[in-house]
Structure 1
């Protein structure tokens, strides 16, 4: 019988390349703008990033979108969070009602916001005692996440909401990169010292319980992950196929990208990492993946906020690229 993950593995391993002709066109135009070459630093890189993965010599940001994936976790039964899991559904309502930080960022900067609820009434299995999902459920959830690009955004920023999911993400990192629970857990939504100890113990218990079944990245995702992480992986996969660049949010969202990279190192080349979280192990994960975040604002809110702020920078960078004067149009002498 074929693995439920067969199609997903194929998509990850056969990801389309970026468009280097589009990149060259952007760089040529950039050299004509009234500034020293490279003087806008990573702002210039953002424009070439958009060009490469949109496949457009003139990139667009007419339809940027933040997608938030929300799910609940059985591991909260282990006392790993400062908040009850009912808060996940309450915050989803807050997103859609415009009261959350991400809602306000998106409204101010004209970024579309979509929220995907993933069976909030049915938490995943408690990873200290059972698999989070079986393989078929995990594969189906990845497939569901692919629907995030249905509206054809020209930039996708991914974020999440799920009480208990920093514990789940820590378990994924430990399984992928090694180490113990204490190496990867942080305070999340604000647990005290006893809660931090429970988080570390839960990760260690999960690793011990699943042991030899953690054989490959997608098995790790199914045993230890969450629906929102599986769905974010699906969104990353679909975006690559549809020529949509992706901005990844913080500690939890990065774990979805880590799974993709573990399957195929080039599978996340179309992703940038919006910020490094104040969750201390996020930098460790980014280092293990060999990627550099765009921002460091000591944020740890989740819900796509860091990715959305990076999208604001991308909008600004593209505006500069498209609207700055050239040396010729401004009558400014260029380098000899």
Structure 2
């Protein structure tokens, strides 16, 4: 820090480093530190080819438009082990595949628990809400794209349904005796799943923060004010919550941020391009502010997808011609249509 201060020009009165430039330098340094730590902490999910047969043994309402499912092996066998942050690639009776975080007890091998919010217009979530006990489904996994690295000082932040991957992390931290805090936020208590369960963990360490009870949505600075000094932050929620935390991190007590969001990342620098669908004979125009997946789904509603963030591989399509601007994990002759873009025209085997 001393070297950084010496590099800042003096203030106009000559009394020391210019305070504005000093704050700016510290903010930039903090953002760089945050980026390094986040990249270091992010683990790419390993492909899991294991298919786990499951049967729904309980459907339970957890909040407005949120249900949880208890899933067991049809023959009563122990289910594959998992770690906090893991999810399942659930294959529904219709054939749709969606990703849902495991949110039950990690040590429990007799069942899995997932929770799903019904999204307006979301065919997958609507189908989950129609499932009943006795229905058989299957899943790939568990696999983990949001692992908890086990830091001993941690702030957990959950926005709405974002509590699902966070809850097992909190239980793990509490069992180890870590210095942890949890902020669970949302529009109102009725929309926030597992509020009672979360509140029972440790009332002194848990803050339930509904917008309606404070008159305003929370800010990143307000969330991070709860962080233990030098803590790592694990956050899952909507884009405004994640963005607010990222911007406020350099001036907070925390030192690093790991995050997951349940929606597709915003398109910041998109350009329009064209996709030709070779098998169906259709041509689709992709606007600058939309993904190829969104545009293709309007003419091919059955197109498969899951994570919408470029890593699961469900939406990969074979590239027949064109130049790809890659943003996902696809490579070679494949395109991740949920995030990859193009200059000009792509021809896909769809």
Q: Which has the higher contact order (CA 8 A, sep 6+)?
A: 1
TM-score, normalised relative to structure 1: 0.32
| Higher strand proportion | 2
| Higher helix proportion | 1
